[in-house]
């Protein structure tokens, strides 16, 4: 799952909602930082409400991903998109097509949810801007074994860039996909890769309910 799919049930809980984004933010800005469910669980009732809420959001993200990646819908959709990626990446049978199948499933699920309710994404960004990034970083440093000094800056950048809106348009999505490729040190995608995106969107939209099976629709903390 990606940012919006994790966050949307918790828009009325700003720091919990921000916590659901923490594992993904750290993969962008500080991959050495490792979050463990047992550490987050230990802080779920911290006397500092913002620490407890961020920890709860982190824990929710980890639980959501565990369920999501075990669904039949995820396995089938990511495999189908892996095959489609391989079809437009000649002679590639290794890491990049499989990585793209996984990544597209998650990003296009966000896109489908945003298209269904764009006002909810606007609310997501308004709520995220109400959160103090320094507090989120401090809470994460209570959870993580290794501290981060980069997360607060990344949250501010994330709010300004509004990248989730880009998932709705194929050309902008291509830019974001290539940013991910650079970050994980894989070759950039050719322009022709965009040709698979319209059909990929339809596929993910058709599996949306199955992909979200077992994922909360509202807070359960």
* Residues 108 and 200 sit within 8 Å (Cβ to Cβ): yes
Least confident range of 56-60, 112-116, 142-146: 142-146
218 band by pLDDT with thresholds 50, 70 and 90: low
Helix axes 118-129, 14-29, angle to 10 degrees: 90
Per-domain residue ranges of the chain: 3-211
Residue 220 has pLDDT above 70, yes or no: no
Angle at alpha carbon of residue 153, lines to 150 and 158, rounded to 5°? 120
Encoded tokens for 79: 């495999």
Q: Which whole number is the average pLDDT over 76-93?
A: 89
Q: Is the pLDDT of residue 90 over 90?
A: no
- ∠124-211-119 over CA atoms, to 5°? 25
Q: Is the pLDDT of residue 1 over 60?
A: yes
Task: Please state, rounded to an integer, the average pLDDT across all residues of the chain.
Answer: 94
- Return d(Cα 27, Cα 133) in angstroms, integer: 17
Comparing C-alpha atoms, which of 27, 122, 14, 121 is closest to residue 65?
Answer: 27
Q: Does the pLDDT value for residue 221 go beyond 60?
A: no
Which pLDDT score is estimated for 187? 87
What is the number of other CB atoms lying within 10 angstroms of the CB of residue 95?
A: 10
Report pLDDT for 118: 98
Q: What is the pLDDT of residue 219?
A: 46
Best CA proximity match to 62, nearest among 141, 129, 185, 144: 144
pLDDT of residue 93: 61
């Amino acid at each position: 799952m990606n940012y919006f799919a994790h966050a949307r049930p918790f828009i009325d809980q700003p720091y919990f909602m921000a916590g659901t984004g923490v594992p993904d933010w750290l993969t962008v800005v500080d991959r050495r930082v490792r979050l463990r469910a047992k550490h987050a669980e230990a802080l779920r009732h911290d006397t500092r409400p913002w620490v407890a809420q961020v920890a709860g959001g982190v824990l929710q993200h980890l639980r959501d991903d565990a369920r999501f990646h075990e669904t039949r819908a995820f396995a089938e959709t990511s495999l189908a998109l892996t095959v489609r990626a391989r079809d437009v990446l000649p002679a590639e049978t290794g890491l990049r097509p499989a990585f793209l199948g996984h990544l597209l499933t998650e990003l296009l699920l966000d896109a489908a949810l945003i298209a269904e309710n764009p006002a909810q994404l606007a609310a997501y960004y308004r709520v995220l801007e109400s959160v103090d990034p320094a507090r989120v970083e401090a809470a994460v440093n209570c959870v993580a074994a290794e501290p981060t000094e980069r997360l607060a800056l990344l949250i501010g950048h994330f709010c300004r860039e509004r990248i989730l809106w880009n998932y709705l348009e194929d050309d902008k999505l291509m830019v974001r996909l290539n940013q991910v490729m650079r970050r994980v040190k894989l070759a950039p995608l050719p322009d022709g890769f965009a040709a698979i995106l319209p059909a990929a969107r339809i596929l993910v939209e058709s599996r949306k309910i199955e992909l979200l099976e077992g994922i909360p629709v509202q807070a359960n903390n």
